[in-house]
Structure 1
């Protein structure tokens, strides 16, 4: 059901299945018994086995061969479509000789079929405007494989091509021996790049939790020995068993005629023959009770975490009203408990930095309830005692009425928001929700149905009914006590078990009730008047200037109902900071302004006082500005503006919040050091900027030495002194936007027209010396990141040149995929990009990056050098230019139909109108790039003698 999946996103309520609670008979007037899912008969829609009706706007169908399909007309964004092809087979369905082949087979879908030569599928898609990764992708999980196409255009040829390629994947793959062998290196590269201490810990935990079941030994990446040696017949066996029509669902959502789409599907997929062999039914293994157990795992690079997991055998049934209600109430229960744990974590004396509860199904394995705890450094035992005592308190005494009222208010707001935005839901998200509904055996319902469901259920959600279902959440087998980290300290398995037994026997008192404080930030004073108003008719926006210096851009759109984005831009950003002063930019960037609270309310009190409101606060420090951002709807727009104004003028920067952030830092740095990508995050940005302190991530010791006052001084100066510009985009009238600006930011004191830029503020350089940099990581010995960057240029000085360099980077990415990935098998996902600064004159760079084996670093460098030499010596083909350009151009057309694009493009345009011209000219400039331009730019900028070469290799093991 769409409602439940969306709740997961909005409130972090997990997808739930237990029905062990006091029934609410007033809702289910004629309950229908839950029907078991029987995969031996093929896939079917949940509504065919349920008393819940599906969304009437969605067309559900099944071909005579057993393939199910789902069609939904949707025009957000206009002129686009999303296609998904789901197979009901993942790593859990592999036999012992196929471990990793479900995922390997996903790769083979792009490596040749009956009507598409090896290597041509991606090229065909690129010619239709789809870029590999962003618009063309696939994923393999424990119990499904899903192929994804997001079409930027819905012309007949685009739709036909998308369906044709899905049909090729479904039943026509070549699975050529040579293609399989060529892809092995790519798969091994993906396995190598994705390996981490966290994955090792998860494998150990799943074995402890589900020993004897397939889940414990079937990670989708598989086993390297099988990836290296599996013969074609093992691929064919899996392909024939699970890539069959009765195991497939095609989902198509977009701006097209549903009748015509259904005819296309029937024409394209009806000839897909059902195999004579019966559907293979997998034995996933039955959950075996283990009682209370304690296990642990230590490895360098792991963050410290404690968990308690209660498990019970899974019952896989289609969703019906009784199950839906049980799941929904369990969601309310976990939400209330998570609110308690979050509130406790924010108190200065609490020994854990974070804790949360989740209740969910593990694919075909078990239904679990899990408490996760992130202790403050060295306080594992105390953290467990505090968090589990809170859980026991909740089990014994339940929620109070105020908690239930707050949670119901937030939930009702969510349903209302979904209902008001029902007509402009995103096609991609809808396609993914429909796929999820098939995977979970749920009925896909409309926002109107969800709203009606909640309104009907709400009167019967009493405190007694809610509290009666708390204990069953924790009634499963176990718990399994689990401790993972870089070290176990003095809290090993025995200590954990002993502490659990002590807490289990201790008496607990009821939680203290809390009272909401009223929201106090409603009156900010007398507003300044508008002294200038300008309509920019071709872009559909209005720009205002107030007497106090505040500027605003307002753009009303109809892209998405009930969605408004607000950006408050404080000019200056990093350019207003002197590198000589070594400002604590990183610490300020990762600090959470909202967690620091306001002068009149703590972070928890803000949340309580604004119960039922939709608002957000995000802080970002960019090159040319520091921004506060928020997202809301027309109903709560005034509140959102008040919140942003309150944080501008009265942010509290609570020392407790910064101290809590610091408690995560040791584990965070340990994790970064354990992977090549993490080390690049720590050192790469600084290296590419000649170690400018504004872009340098501090050492762990330096971060921990940064004070709350340092962070406050940096942020407060920008929020309280720099020029202010507000950008409002979305479903809001100009009059209402102006009215709320008048009540908030127009009341600020006079601000300068321009930010104060220090003498060295605009100085930023690509390095010219020490161009070969080597860093070390503490992770797996065969992991290496190889990075090459060439000095580029800024954006403002020549926008056409900057666009051309971006197209050159796209061409370089195509070559990297063809040569480094496909031909040489050196890396799973090499790519290139172009970065140009719109703030620092002359600064920019092109880069090419890949994760390879350490011994292949030179081979990668040589491959890139060969690509560069060829780009300089020979013009690219017209087809290659098309495949580089078209995805960019089509994505731009789609961008113009989204609030996200305008919210990012418009800030700064009131003081620099060139930014509006950049919107007007960008498509024409990208389209104007020629084959000759690519060769010229390659010769001008891809100089291997000026390139910076960064290698992040494994640390040398100390001699024994």
Structure 2
């Protein structure tokens, strides 16, 4: 039920990358741990059904729910955002938790086999069929396997009859016609093992240890979706077939189709294509997930190099899964408010300079088929684990004992009301992909899918009932479950070991609590900036639907009014200069500036916390970006809050505080951040790759940990403040806003500033950027698994602006290379899970660009990948590609362009800079024609021109134990 998704800021922990659970929303998903189940229990043995059939909540009347005679459920929703597109999802009610001991990993393996042959599609042809229909593998064609579901995803860029028919046909093949050929299974084993290898990390190891401590007698503790390597390597076909027959059956399947089509015609297609899917005679297999067993208060720890330091307390209770009802929704709603208020307290506390934790969050949710939990997660500042635990848990105890105050409740209700109102106003232009995902989630969670109008009506009815007494009465039950399980993970334990963790918990438990002090909101002080400026030049560019303005003080603006998304407005304030205005010789602290949060630094008249309180109930954003040719401030808002959003951006332009406390808090995360990067090949490449490809230009060099920690707040302030206070200003506004309103708010804010120079000051070496010509082989070490290796090859190419047709053609060349890497490196040789190629071109630095190819492989296969890549390159140079291959590379690009033009996101990215460089408008106009003009001969010519292996940079990220030997070679 969508009405429970009310929070504007929801905490989620990444199960396999940090301490804790599968993603847990800060908004409550379940009744409190002390409350009985509310609603009818879900009976898996009877197959899937819709929650509204077992609930007093009515489903969204615009959605069509159906069930075929064979038991397959389906959901259809007509939706035209973006126009002419559709999203298809096929969900099976089976994931890793449903595997038996001999099938661990096969639910996920089966997901891969869906792309490797069926009754009517030869092995390897499914992806090619989709590419011919404009779907790119990964971006538009994908699947995922979780603990309790497998979902296949198709996002169709076109809804012609043939496209829809092909999408449904391929889903039908997946549903009941997979070949599961022995040879195909064997060929895919290397790909799965490559995925397991690439995804392994210290965080995953910590998760497995945590899950065993929390749910040691239940399947959840031993059923990671990736499975066991021995089973992946050796499982026979019969184990695949057994799982396929039991969980890929109509009663366990739900087809979701959302898009710009006729629902009646779509329903007829579904009935025609899926009616012959036979229901097996065998009953549905019911899995024993294991019952939660109380453990009392226990303390566990885990250490491994590369881990980030985290603490957590988890309270758990047995779970009875039920369909959603109004009674359960009410509990969820109140628990969401309770957790949100506590999270606000913890966030505010974390921002204080003397607080020993860098962050702390509370979450309350279900873990699939396992338990209902409440969890406090804490990121301590370095060396302050014990103090962080005391401070965060004391805040929780204080809240549980004394509850919230009226001001906290009012602020939270105001934010929730704003969210519901925005959702209601945007109801007619919801994104089809988002809707399909939400419908799948409603089936998985046993929720009733409701409309924004229903959700709004629910909130209006509930709001008067949410009294402070009612809210506070339900806080203690959140922490009344079994436990807590006390947990500490990190590279070392310091002096906070298992016993100390337990002793400290008891200490806080025994301490006498006092109520927290209430706080009042400060008024928003940034409402007037001076005499509004006047427009002195206006140009209407009708073919692109934009208006460009120049104000008397030199501020320029581009306004594009759209109806793509109701009540959605994006603003970008562009300060010309960016990296090109920084001299490499000055070694500017670009990385530190780019990761610092300008909003966290507050304003001259408001701290970050005071700012948040003063704008309670408002929708706004503050994002800082350091680009090649400009620094940007950006935000997203609604028509009601547009004036406030402009005031916020203006306030940060003129009066950002750059609080040293905020920068020091950022530094608290740095040691763990660097340690975690060093633990994987991808992390090391993130630290080293960009600098290598730019011949170690300091603007692109990530500093060492010591250098970052030595960076002073004043250095970051000087860099950013200079950009914001001296750079020529251009504002881009895209969305559901009239030109008149946009023009007026610019006049009252940025048009009041003093005149600035027309062009940024560019130092003599500012526009110089080089691809390396020496030391072309670079070897770096990572501290992770000994069988993890990243192999990266890049060739110098060209910039964008000097020849845009060439740049488009190089992108198509990269797409062709990706097709071949997938076909040969992944499918035929099984060397890597996800090899790909890409094309990067600069629009700022003359002559700079590069083509690249990358794969994560085993160390002993690094040379095999390089050799295979060399063979691919040679063939691209010597033989023209086929018309079919060109089609499969071009069509997804072309169809994505058509969809892009119907989104605010595209225009918000394409228009900035166009008032001073009219070529950017031509880039929009001609990009489709240029991509269409690329020929097979162009691909061969560009491959011969740019793919010179003697000029390529080769980067290898190897495990530390073999790095020295690799360098010697």
- Residue 828 (structure 2) pairs with residue 823 (structure 1): yes
Does the 8 Å CA contact 2:79/2:432 hold for their aligned counterparts?
A: yes
Does the 8 Å CA contact 1:424/1:559 hold for their aligned counterparts?
A: yes
Match of 2:3 in 1: 3
Q: Are the structure 2 counterparts of residues 163 and 22 from structure 1 closer, same or farther at C-alpha, using a change threshold of 3 Å? A: closer
Partners of 2:26 and 2:82 in 1: how far apart?
A: 28
- Residue 813 (structure 2) pairs with residue 800 (structure 1): no
SS in structure 2 opposite 1:754? coil
User: 1:14: how far off?
Assistant: 3.2
- Residue 593 (structure 2) pairs with residue 588 (structure 1): yes
Match of 2:220 in 1: 215
Does the 8 Å CA contact 1:21/1:326 hold for their aligned counterparts?
A: no
User: 1:4: how far off?
Assistant: 2.3
Does the 8 Å CA contact 2:781/2:963 hold for their aligned counterparts?
A: no
Does the 8 Å CA contact 1:85/1:251 hold for their aligned counterparts?
A: yes
CA RMSD of aligned residues (A): 1.2
User: 1:822: how far off?
Assistant: 0.4
Query: 1:880 is matched with which residue: 876, 885, 888?
Result: 885
SS in structure 2 opposite 1:682? helix
SS in structure 2 opposite 1:956? helix
Query: 1:322 is matched with which residue: 305, 323, 327?
Result: 327
Partners of 2:5 and 2:274 in 1: how far apart?
A: 29
Match of 2:775 in 1: 770
SS in structure 2 opposite 1:595? helix
User: 1:957: how far off?
Assistant: 7.9
User: 1:3: how far off?
Assistant: 2.5
- Residue 673 (structure 2) pairs with residue 668 (structure 1): yes
Match of 1:442 in 2: 447
After superposition, give the CA deviation of every residue in 1:432-459 in whole Å (9 maximum; x if it has no partner).
0000000000000000000000000110
User: 1:13: how far off?
Assistant: 2.8
Partners of 1:514 and 1:447 in 2: how far apart?
A: 33
Q: Flag as ranges the 4+ runs of structure 1 deviating above 2 A.
A: 3-15, 19-23
User: 1:8: how far off?
Assistant: 7.3
Query: 1:723 is matched with which residue: 706, 719, 728?
Result: 728
Match of 1:752 in 2: 757
Does the 8 Å CA contact 2:131/2:137 hold for their aligned counterparts?
A: yes
- Residue 84 (structure 2) pairs with residue 79 (structure 1): yes
Does the 8 Å CA contact 2:33/2:480 hold for their aligned counterparts?
A: no
Does the 8 Å CA contact 1:527/1:742 hold for their aligned counterparts?
A: yes
Does the 8 Å CA contact 1:690/1:767 hold for their aligned counterparts?
A: yes
Does the 8 Å CA contact 1:22/1:465 hold for their aligned counterparts?
A: no
Match of 2:701 in 1: 696
- Residue 235 (structure 2) pairs with residue 230 (structure 1): yes
Match of 1:956 in 2: 961
- Residue 172 (structure 2) pairs with residue 167 (structure 1): yes
Partners of 1:202 and 1:21 in 2: how far apart?
A: 26
Does the 8 Å CA contact 1:673/1:777 hold for their aligned counterparts?
A: yes
- Residue 177 (structure 2) pairs with residue 176 (structure 1): no
Partners of 2:35 and 2:189 in 1: how far apart?
A: 53
Does the 8 Å CA contact 1:8/1:14 hold for their aligned counterparts?
A: no
Match of 1:387 in 2: 392
After superposition, give the CA deviation of every residue in 1:85-106 in whole Å (9 maximum; x if it has no partner).
0000000000000000000000
- Residue 907 (structure 2) pairs with residue 902 (structure 1): yes
- Residue 285 (structure 2) pairs with residue 276 (structure 1): no
Match of 2:192 in 1: 187
Partners of 2:743 and 2:552 in 1: how far apart?
A: 14
Match of 1:411 in 2: 416
Residues 679-690 of structure 1 mapped to structure 2, 5 A cutoff:
679-690=684-695
Does the 8 Å CA contact 2:143/2:150 hold for their aligned counterparts?
A: yes
Query: 1:708 is matched with which residue: 704, 713, 720?
Result: 713
| Uncovered stretches (5+) of structure 1, i.e. residues with no partner | 24-31
- Residue 62 (structure 2) pairs with residue 62 (structure 1): no
- Residue 249 (structure 2) pairs with residue 262 (structure 1): no
- Residue 473 (structure 2) pairs with residue 468 (structure 1): yes
- Residue 892 (structure 2) pairs with residue 864 (structure 1): no
Match of 1:101 in 2: 106
Partners of 2:627 and 2:223 in 1: how far apart?
A: 43
Q: Are the structure 2 counterparts of residues 745 and 885 from structure 1 closer, same or farther at C-alpha, using a change threshold of 3 Å? A: same
Aligned residues: 951
Does the 8 Å CA contact 1:8/1:15 hold for their aligned counterparts?
A: no
Does the 8 Å CA contact 1:584/1:711 hold for their aligned counterparts?
A: yes
SS in structure 1 opposite 2:419? helix
Does the 8 Å CA contact 2:350/2:358 hold for their aligned counterparts?
A: yes
Match of 1:247 in 2: 252
Partners of 1:588 and 1:811 in 2: how far apart?
A: 37
Partners of 2:829 and 2:727 in 1: how far apart?
A: 52
User: 1:958: how far off?
Assistant: 12
User: 1:721: how far off?
Assistant: 0.3
Query: 1:114 is matched with which residue: 110, 119, 128?
Result: 119
After superposition, give the CA deviation of every residue in 1:556-602 in whole Å (9 maximum; x if it has no partner).
00000000000000001000000000000000000000000000000
Partners of 2:645 and 2:654 in 1: how far apart?
A: 14
Partners of 2:8 and 2:915 in 1: how far apart?
A: 39
- Residue 535 (structure 2) pairs with residue 522 (structure 1): no
Match of 2:21 in 1: none
User: 1:10: how far off?
Assistant: 5.8
After superposition, give the CA deviation of every residue in 1:360-409 in whole Å (9 maximum; x if it has no partner).
10110000000000000000000000000000000000000000000000
SS in structure 1 opposite 2:674? helix
SS in structure 1 opposite 2:328? helix
After superposition, give the CA deviation of every residue in 1:133-188 in whole Å (9 maximum; x if it has no partner).
00000000000000000000000000000000000000000000000000000000
Match of 2:30 in 1: 17
Query: 2:577 is matched with which residue: 569, 572, 582?
Result: 572
After superposition, give the CA deviation of every residue in 1:203-260 in whole Å (9 maximum; x if it has no partner).
0000000011000000000000000000000000000000000000000000000000
SS in structure 2 opposite 1:620? strand
Partners of 1:584 and 1:659 in 2: how far apart?
A: 15
Query: TM-score, normalised on structure 1?
Result: 0.98
Q: Are the structure 2 counterparts of residues 20 and 103 from structure 1 closer, same or farther at C-alpha, using a change threshold of 3 Å? A: closer
User: 1:516: how far off?
Assistant: 0.4
User: 1:33: how far off?
Assistant: 5.8
Match of 1:915 in 2: 920
Partners of 1:320 and 1:352 in 2: how far apart?
A: 38
After superposition, give the CA deviation of every residue in 1:866-900 in whole Å (9 maximum; x if it has no partner).
00000011000000000000000000000000000
SS in structure 2 opposite 1:945? helix
Query: 2:624 is matched with which residue: 601, 612, 619?
Result: 619
User: 1:528: how far off?
Assistant: 2.6
User: 1:840: how far off?
Assistant: 0.2
Does the 8 Å CA contact 1:13/1:332 hold for their aligned counterparts?
A: no
